Structure 1
Amino acid sequence: MATSLICSETQSRVSSVLNRDVKQYGKKFMFDCNEETCWSSDQGDCQWVSLEFPQTVKVSEVKLQFQGGFSAKTCRLEGRLKDGDFLGLSQFYPEDNNCLQSFPIQEAPTVDKVKILFENSADFFGRIIVYSLDILGERTS
């Protein structure tokens, strides 16, 4: 049974925050279950989010909700285990809308860190706006 792998001990990092205004647009807003708040990246190519889990996990699904007009056209999920190199796990193609979207991950290996790279933003300046992000799967240790 897949459950949310994001917990209070999960460490998150992002490529950038709009105008460095973390109080209004910080990474924590992707995980607060509030549909009024969001993470907003600054402009630039290939924005990303990384998550480091307190134990090893097997990812089975990524759930994302973008703001229409500020979504990625291509997303790449990478994972790594204990200071190893990142390996490509999956590539998926979100629609440019405001809906919560689900992307199943087939046969992902055990990892302790994942990185989602948002490539080819729908926004001319490369900004990404995420209202909700969840990673589903199983804890393995």
Structure 2
Amino acid sequence: MEPLVIPLSSAASCAGREAAMPVESLICADTATRVSSVLNRDVKQFGKKHMFDASEETCWNSDQGSSQWVTLDFPGTVRISQLHIQFQGGFSSRLCTLEGCRAGEEPVKISDLYPEDTNAMQRFQVEETELDKLKITFENSTDFFGRIVVYHLGVLGQRL
């Protein structure tokens, strides 16, 4: 069987059509992250790095408090379009507020997300926003003491 060859003229005629831009993970080794707290200050066992290590065995576990947060400083400007998050059931957030800004600007609210109290990976479409810094605030924890447990956090979109 001969391979299918598409003439260059046919491929070029497709270039003018609007196509959805592919999304990719925006969190990389050069993304600076900060968290509001770590349970018992035990960063080795419960530190922020565990949200990004793709292991089902590790997690970020916040300490007690009324609201917890994560900030992501990207190495360059990005356009976010999705947020993926996996909580531990019983330690999730009923309300997540996303704020973002470009370098040197004040953060502005992007959206409110309403996750379920479940162990499952949750995916949220967010308003496409160009930014250099993203803050995710976890409010209204399902835990009586306000603790948040995140096994996976992903921000998807395009690098600009």
**Does TM, scored on the shorter chain, surpass 0.5?**
yes
Of the three residues 145, 148, 157, the one matched with 1:125 is 145
Q: Which runs of 5+ in 2 are unaligned?
A: 1-21
Is residue 8 from structure 1 mapped to residue 26 from structure 2 by the alignment? Answer: no
Q: Which residue number in structure 2 is paired with residue 78 of structure 1? A: 99
CA drift of 1:103 comes to 0.6
Q: CA deviation at 1:4?
A: 0.3
Q: Which of 55, 61, 73 pairs up with 2:76?
A: 55
Secondary structure (helix, strand or coil) at the match of 1:105 reads: strand
Separation in structure 1 between the aligned mates of residue 78 and residue 154 of structure 2, nearest angstrom: 14
Query: Any stretches of 5+ residues in structure 1 without a counterpart?
Result: none
TM-score, length-normalised on structure 2? 0.86
Aligned counterparts of 1:46 and 1:83: Cα–Cα separation in 2: 25
Q: TM-score, normalised by structure 1?
A: 0.97
- Which amino acid is the alignment partner of residue 159 of structure 2? R
Residue 100 of structure 2 aligns to a residue whose secondary structure is strand
Aligned counterparts of 2:128 and 2:34: Cα–Cα separation in 1:
25
Q: How far is the alpha carbon of 1:84 from its aligned partner?
A: 1.1
Given residue 129 of structure 1, which amino acid in structure 2 is its aligned partner?
Answer: V
Q: When the two structures are aligned, how many residues end up with a matched partner?
A: 139
- Percent identity at matched positions? 58
Residue 107 of structure 1 and its aligned partner are, at CA, apart by 3.2
Separation (CA, whole Å) in 2 of partners of 1:61 and 1:46? 22
Which residue does the alignment assign to 2:44?
A: 23
**Deviation string, structure 1 residues 54-104 (Cα, Å, up to 9, x no partner):** 000010000000000000000001001112111001111000000000010
The alignment's C-alpha RMSD in Å is 0.6
2:24 & 2:141 partners in 1: Cα distance? 29
User: Would you say 1:102 and 2:102 are equivalent positions?
Assistant: no
Kindly name which structure, 1 or 2, has the bigger radius of gyration based on alpha carbons: 2
| Structure 1 letter corresponding to 2:140 | N
Aligned residue type for 1:58: R
Letter paired with 1:81 = R
